[in-house]
């Protein structure tokens, strides 16, 4: 069985493309990295534990994609340009076919965004994966959670609730209708909205990525910005599968409270909205206006029948009609 050093040589040392700003990469005590002048370093970490965050038998290639995707999603939500990643991995044994599948998913996504693997740690133990990404952002233009103001429009990227519906189907709680392969893809291979985040800088000061559901994550913006928000449920972007689910069950909690979509929710000040709407056709993902920032301290939602839902940051039952 391969030792730690061989694993590093074989799977991590030259896994990704070389960047000029990596003065020294995998192989020494530290990596030496050059941050561009005038830019701040944006840094974010996530740890995924087998049994908690993913099934121990999860497909390794999808897992390699997802651990990096959820981290890149945090950079996207800051408006940062991804550059470097570190990988701390603990494995019960040196399973080379698992590792090569995992690294295939990981490096495919890394190369799409020009991200270089610059270091990490490899140990034996229960399967756990820790990823830290680093990127660059102009500190005065970063998309912060505390920057929403009353009157701003609230926008989301992509569609909401697909990943949550895929999970519900997988757990046997619902029998999905329509394109299940598409739903599974949305759960297993979320697409970090990196390009959108960077394009938002001239228009937005405030964004968060949706990992815990639109209501909860917009709730973080409200809390940190000291504002409220009203969402119009009939304007939420929904796939036909999610629409069918809501028609059948009356349950709006799926697009409001289900996590794992990794779309962005962001605000645009009123005087920037016309200019912003002019560039929508040039973005690589659809963007939809779903509400407005108002005075207050939390988000609420208006259902299509006019009913006001006051507790959108809370769970499932509150949304059953
Ligand atoms: P040290 O004993 O100094 O911590 P290691 O033997 O743990 O060094 O690691 C040797 C080199 O390999 C270091 O540059 C480290 O960053 C890199 N490395 C170890 N594991 C990984 C990994 N999973 N992914 C990327 N780089 C790794
Ligand atoms: Mg080490």
Ligand 1 centroid to residue 120 C-alpha, Å: 5
Confidence of residue 4 (pLDDT cuts 50, 70, 90): confident
Q: What is the pLDDT of residue 259?
A: 83
Percentage with pLDDT > 90 across the chain: 82
CB 68 within 8 A of CB 117: no
Whether the per-residue pLDDT at 99 is higher than 90: the answer is yes
pLDDT tens profile 178-199: 788 899 999 999 999 999 999 9
Ligand 1 centroid to residue 8 C-alpha, Å: 7
Atom of ligand 1 nearest to the CA of 25: 14
> For ligand 2, a single-atom ion, which residues have Cβ within 5 Å?
121
Q: What is the pLDDT of residue 233?
A: 96
What are the angstrom distances between the C-alpha of 304 and each of 247, 301, 321? 12, 10, 12
Q: What is the pLDDT of residue 317?
A: 42
Q: What is the pLDDT of residue 230?
A: 98
Q: Residue 222 and residue 147: Cα distance in Å, rounded?
A: 9
Residue 271 burial (CB < 10 Å; 0-12/13-18/19+)? exposed
pLDDT tens profile 15-68: 888 999 999 999 999 999 999 999 999 999 999 888 888 888 889 999 999 999
76 C-beta closer than 6 A to ligand 1: no
Among all ligands shown, which has an atom nearest to the Cα of 128?
Answer: 1
What are the angstrom distances between the C-alpha of 273 and each of 148, 188, 203, 269, 280? 14, 33, 8, 6, 11
pLDDT tens profile 211-236: 999 999 999 999 999 999 999 999 99
57 C-beta closer than 6 A to ligand 1: no
- Both tokens of 66, joined, read 């997802």
Q: What is the mean pLDDT of residues 250-269?
A: 93
117 C-beta closer than 6 A to ligand 1: yes
Q: What is the pLDDT of residue 315?
A: 46
Residue nearest to atom 13 of ligand 1 (CA): 27
What are the angstrom distances between the C-alpha of 151 and each of 145, 154, 155, 194, 218? 16, 9, 13, 26, 15
Q: What angle do CA 70, 264, 15 make, to 5 degrees?
A: 30
Q: What angle do CA 210, 76, 39 make, to 5 degrees?
A: 145
Least trusted range by pLDDT, from 275-284, 291-300, 310-319: 310-319
Q: How many CA atoms lie within 13 A of 219 on its CB side?
A: 16
Q: What is the pLDDT of residue 316?
A: 40
Ligand 2 centroid to residue 76 C-alpha, Å: 29
pLDDT tens profile 297-320: 999 999 999 999 988 886 444 454
Least trusted range by pLDDT, from 129-133, 275-279, 313-317: 313-317
pLDDT tens profile 144-181: 999 999 999 999 999 999 999 999 999 899 998 878 88
């Amino acid at each position: 069985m391969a030792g730690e050093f061989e694993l590093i040589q074989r799977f991590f040392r030259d896994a990704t493309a070389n960047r000029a700003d990596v003065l020294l990469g995998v192989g020494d005590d530290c990596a030496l990295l050059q941050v561009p002048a005038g830019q701040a370093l944006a840094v974010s970490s996530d740890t995924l534990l087998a049994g908690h965050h993913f099934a121990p038998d999860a497909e390794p290639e999808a897992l390699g994609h997802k651990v990096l995707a959820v981290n890149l999603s945090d950079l996207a939500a800051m408006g940062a340009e991804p550059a470097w990643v570190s990988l701390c991995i603990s494995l019960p044994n040196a399973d080379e076919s698992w590792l090569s599948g995992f690294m295939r998913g990981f490096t495919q996504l890394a190369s799409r965004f020009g991200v270089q693997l610059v270091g990490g740690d490899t140990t034996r133990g229960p399967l756990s994966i820790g990823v830290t990404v680093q990127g660059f952002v102009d500190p005065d233009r970063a998309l912060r959670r505390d920057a929403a103001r009353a009157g701003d429009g609230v926008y989301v990227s992509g569609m909401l609730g697909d990943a949550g519906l895929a999970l519900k189907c997988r757990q046997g709680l619902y029998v999905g209708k329509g394109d299940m392969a598409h739903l599974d893809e949305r759960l297993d291979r979320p697409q970090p909205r990196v390009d959108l985040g960077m394009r938002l800088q001239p228009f937005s000061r405030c964004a968060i990525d949706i990992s815990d559901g639109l209501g909860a994550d917009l709730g973080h913006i409200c809390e940190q910005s000291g504002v409220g928000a009203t969402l119009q449920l009939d304007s939420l972007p929904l796939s036909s599968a999610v629409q069918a689910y809501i028609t059948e069950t009356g349950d709006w909690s799926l697009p409001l409270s289900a996590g794992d979509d990794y779309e962005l929710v962001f605000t645009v000040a009123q005087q920037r909205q016309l200019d912003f709407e002019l560039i929508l056709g040039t973005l690589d993902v659809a963007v939809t206006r779903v509400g407005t920032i108002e005075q207050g301290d939390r988000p609420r939602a208006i259902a299509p029948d006019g009913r006001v839902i006051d507790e959108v940051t809370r769970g499932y039952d509150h949304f059953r009609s």
